[in-house]
Structure 1
Amino acid sequence: MSQQSSSWLGKAWSSWCSVPLWLQILVGMLLGMLTGIILGEQAVVLKPVGTLFVNTIKMLIVPLVFCSLIVGVTSMQDTAKMGRIGFKSFVFYLGTTSIAIALGLGVGELLQPGAGLNMTPDAGAAAAKEVPSVMQTLINIVPTNPVAALASGQILQVIVFAVALGIALVLIGERGQPAVKMFESLAEAMYKLTDMVMKLAPYGVFGLMAWVAGAYGMDMLAPLIKVIIAVYLGCFLHVVGFYSLLLSLVAKLNPLQFFKGVRSALAVAYTTSSSAGTLPVSMKCANESLGVNKKISSFVLPLGTTINMDGTALYQGVTALFVAQAFGIDLTWVDYVTIILTATLASIGTAGVPGAGLVMLTLVLTTVGLPLEGVAIIAGIDRILDMARTVVNVSGDLVATTIIAKSEDELNVEHYNADEEQSQLLAEKLNAES
């Protein structure tokens, strides 16, 4: 009998492990809510399980951001022309990312998704913060002691030091390669460790959601729905509004032709929630549908997959405000600037990391002193949000590629404006020539 039970449990565990992580997290959230509603205030005994998960994410933040930022910066070295294109790409991606998070903050302020939830943060989290002056905020960005900044988790200081060190390693050329290889190895190890930690997410989310549901009941459902609506609205405005404006005003191109040409890439992005996984389709769309020269697309698109996080930045703007509103914490305008700076600079090296959205959200919340319990609430709906933000990320990569190609006279405008049949014929001709 015990052997049969053991065999059944083994099969059940094997089946559970084969379920995609996002679905495991969703199940953990739903079971946690159900458990919390049944147990009521007694569900607080499960909170340490969630706290342990939050602590493991906090453990990752500094080394992950530090190593991946250096790898992101050092990956941009190339020939003179590629250097110019790389600079344009870098400025474009960081500029649009800062606008995206500002838009997310704006949508969050407008819809107020966390208002009325009245959650209570842990002791110390709700303590009043002394608001630094603008000059003091700017001065504090540069660390006087980088090691102390790493040890104390001063995120903005860590980001500034990592970017500066990455640039220095690029400038010294071959002599910097041993250090670059070391950081690449460390970054890969951190990506793997992140993957390992994210496997604990369903259980951590279960523990924290049980506590939240036990303490606040079903009142949390409406705010979660509002978060989804806010993120999707922000993503729609950024893609259809802002990107269309860039294509029209900067590149003098028809946005409708662009969206018609990239629809297959956006469909793959939405269903897979992976910018890296969509890259082959994005390359195909850029070359065969938009008429971008392969020399441009083969450099700008992979770079965008590494450093462009418009969708994730927008998501962080909405969710950071949700957490602040849910816990009744008022953010100052300095906090808003800090959120924009942190998410923009951190976007350089976070793409391609499993659980990147949640890790970046933890980073942003930590920087402005918001309670990390909010991460568990967002984790349950993260997959739904991830689908929308990946579409924005991929759209941004393709918009940047198109605009930069136009600026370098590497865009076949006739090909770009061609209908579907003509575009296919031109693509076949180009493939035959190459």
Structure 2
Amino acid sequence: MIAKVKKYATTNTLVIVGILLGALFGSILPELALKQKVLGTAFVYFLKMLVVPLVFSSIYVAILGLGSVEHLKRMGLKTIGLYLLTTTLAVLTAIIAMNIFHIGEHVSSAGLEFSQASTLAPFSFESMILSFIPTNIFHALSSGSMMQIIVFAILFGVASLYLSKSQQEPMINLFTSVSEAMLKMAEWVILLTPIGVFSLISYVIAEQGIEVIFGLYKYILVVVGVILFHALFTLPAVLRLFTKINPYRYLSDVREAPIMAFSTASSAATLPVSMRVVEEMGGVDKKNASFVLPLGATVSMDGTAAYLSVAVLYIANLAGVPLSFGDQVLLGVTVVALSVGVAALPSASLVMMVVILNQIGLPVEYMALIVAVDRILDMCRTSLNVTSDLIVTKIIDEYEKRR
């Protein structure tokens, strides 16, 4: 255990150094920073390489480990309920913050370029629901369609519960071995984190430029402030409410995962690291982590929900369209509902923003203004998404251990 603590402590220190040096390198030598993107991209690809086999095998083994459909139903309802609770609290925090600060009310929108916003694909609730069902599981596996993989893995696991023990045993042994192998590979990839973070941060800074950040500093400050408040106060309070453990000590132990999420801007790519860290450093039982974390990587979107709430209210202020209390309640409900459909990939929430803006009747073209800093804020909100996953996983683990 001591060796593991030292390993993660060293990695964390190097990651922080990588973030600082990457920001400096991207600011001073932007041309070189843009050319070395391949290092960061390769790092993310290595992580994504592990996701599909890890998610499928982990969920399958976790469901068989539960032993019964009743246990799965009880644990699943608690998990979904907690994820909805934390997402609702994130949206509520964002709406309150925007009603306090009123940013965007006196910002000129003259000269905006609207081309970026108009390229987003149309979206509907019907297509979102049907997209959860894999018509070809092999295509879903090859394309990395996370929700489809999770749905099939759950159904496959539930069906296997009705098999005889002799039929279940070879399946459990196979997928347990696959899961262990993926986690071992994740350990190797974690060693590359400082280099990957340096490359990704430097590229983002070089591509976006410091000027863009300064131009939207009020908007960025509110988004980041809401994310930090939810991560440092709301989520710890939820963990403390449902358990008796020290939330800040736990978050300190598993901080490797949110840092990784910040650098990759992808909940899915962070999943192998989250599973390894939460078991080794967070004291979570592997069976519980294998069920809750893969589910959270797709349906838990606290950061995305908070970001969408701030962004939509900011656009409403820019457009001079005041939203009533009822409109803001509708916004909150819509964001919580749609957050489940957001893919665990960078910037997928922009599609959700189009849906919300169209529903409320706000001009989609105003998205062009905030798209410029979306990548930077995507890193922040993904880190919060993963932090929420870690909190819910710990709560479920504590409940299961009490049983």
TM-score normalised according to structure 1 size: 0.56
Aligned partner letter, 2:129: A
Task: List aligned pairs for 1:178-193, cutoff 5 A.
Answer: 180-181=134-135
Counterpart among 289, 298, 322 of residue 297 in structure 1: 289
Counterpart among 219, 231, 243 of residue 227 in structure 1: 219
Tell me if the contact between 1:101 and 1:314 (Cα under 8 Å) persists in the aligned partners: yes
Q: Is structure 2 residue 258 aligned with structure 1 residue 266?
A: yes
Gaps of 5+ in 1: 1-14, 24-74, 123-152, 167-178, 193-217, 412-434
Tell me if the contact between 1:293 and 1:410 (Cα under 8 Å) persists in the aligned partners: no
Whole-angstrom CA distance in 2 between matches of 1:190 and 1:401: 23
Partner residue of 1:280? 272
Counterpart among 307, 310, 320 of residue 302 in structure 2: 310
Counterpart among 370, 377, 389 of residue 369 in structure 2: 377
Whole-angstrom CA distance in 1 between matches of 2:284 and 2:140: 35
Tell me if the contact between 1:275 and 1:305 (Cα under 8 Å) persists in the aligned partners: yes
Tell me if the contact between 1:118 and 1:327 (Cα under 8 Å) persists in the aligned partners: no
Gaps of 5+ in 2: 1-32, 42-59, 113-121, 147-210
Structure 1 residue 374 displacement after superposition: 2.0
Between 269-278 and 79-88, report the one with greater CA deviation: 79-88
Aligned-partner SS, 2:383: helix
Q: Is structure 2 residue 59 aligned with structure 1 residue 105?
A: no
Counterpart among 385, 396, 401 of residue 404 in structure 1: 396
Q: Specify whether residues 231 and 314 from structure 1 end up closer, same or farther in structure 2 by C-alpha distance, changes over 3 A only.
A: same
Partner residue of 2:104? 114
Aligned-partner SS, 2:401: coil
Q: Deviations over 1:237-288 (max 9, x none)?
A: 1011101111212111101211111111121111111111111111122111
Structure 1 residue 404 displacement after superposition: 0.7
Partner residue of 2:72? 82
Whole-angstrom CA distance in 2 between matches of 1:186 and 1:337: 35
Tell me if the contact between 2:123 and 2:351 (Cα under 8 Å) persists in the aligned partners: no
Task: List aligned pairs for 1:209-228, cutoff 5 A.
Answer: 224-228=216-220
Structure 1 residue 320 displacement after superposition: 0.7
Partner residue of 2:189? none
Partner residue of 2:86? 96
Tell me if the contact between 1:307 and 1:348 (Cα under 8 Å) persists in the aligned partners: yes
Tell me if the contact between 2:134 and 2:140 (Cα under 8 Å) persists in the aligned partners: no
Tell me if the contact between 2:304 and 2:381 (Cα under 8 Å) persists in the aligned partners: yes
Counterpart among 126, 129, 149 of residue 162 in structure 1: 129
4+ residue segments displaced more than 6 Å: 15-18, 75-78, 186-192, 220-223
Tell me if the contact between 2:331 and 2:356 (Cα under 8 Å) persists in the aligned partners: yes
Whole-angstrom CA distance in 1 between matches of 2:106 and 2:370: 17
Aligned-partner SS, 1:103: helix
Between 351-360 and 275-284, report the one with greater CA deviation: 351-360
Tell me if the contact between 2:342 and 2:348 (Cα under 8 Å) persists in the aligned partners: yes
Aligned partner letter, 1:274: S
Higher radius of gyration, 1 or 2: 1
TM-score normalised according to structure 2 size: 0.60
Tell me if the contact between 1:309 and 1:351 (Cα under 8 Å) persists in the aligned partners: no
Aligned partner letter, 2:296: G
Whole-angstrom CA distance in 2 between matches of 1:158 and 1:94: 21
Tell me if the contact between 1:286 and 1:297 (Cα under 8 Å) persists in the aligned partners: yes
Whole-angstrom CA distance in 1 between matches of 2:213 and 2:228: 23
- Identical aligned pairs, as a percentage? 33
